[in-house]
Amino acid sequence: MSLRLRFRRFLGARVRSWRRYLNEVAIVGPGDDYAREFYYFGAGAALMAPQGVIYNERYLSIGDDTLIGPNVCLTAGVSGDQVMLATPTVSIGRHCIIGRGSHIIGHWSIELGDEIQTGPYVYITDQNHSYEAIDQPVGWQSPSEVAVKIGSGSWLGANVVVLPGTTLGRNTTVAAGAIVRGTFPDFVVLGGVPAKVLKHYEPGEGWVAGPG
């Protein structure tokens, strides 16, 4: 083995070791000064490192024992000094797990219940672009906001997109890659683009295909 290759392997091992150490040190817990900037940062909660973009913390609520995965973006508004109309703007309940690389982008109201889990790269927002004025670029038109609510006990698979105006009932399962908008009852399985009810639970019968 060449000296150059041996040095590369030695250096690579040290870099990986330091990266693990730095990520462990950079985890944010309720006892850290930074946690006091949040509207609420619960006991046993953690922001795993490396953190994604996080700002306007005073409008963000993280419930007890909730784990926010690495590279998660968690924001209220479009800048850290924007005054929001709802406090908190983004509320995540107790015992939740938000998968790595996910985005929760609040402007009006996003409410996640307790014991919710998401896969990686889930996108949840309560704001969308408008396109009514055909003589103006879409990106310059005034956006619209509609509240989002996700029921306790729900599971959102990888790459799910939750659009403004969505309300999910308790223990909802959303298949990977689904794009969700609308109001759905408790105990359903959603999937597709746009998402539809694939299964629902009937007392005495169990899980039945199709909507109830």
Hey, which residues are catalytic here? 129
Beta bridge pairs of residue 118: 156
Write the DSSP symbol of residue 36: G
Q: What is the per-residue burial (b if ≥16 Cβ within 10 Å, else e) of 23-58? A: eeeebbebeeeebebbbebbeebbbbeebbebbbbb
Neighbours of 166 (CB within 10 A): 23
| 139 to 27, 55, 164, 182: CA distances (angstroms) | 35, 22, 17, 24
Query: Closest by alpha carbon to 200, among 72, 189, 23?
Result: 189
Q: What's the distance, Cα to Cα, between the start and end of the chain in Å?
A: 66
Q: CA–CA separation, 74 vs 63, rounded Å?
A: 14
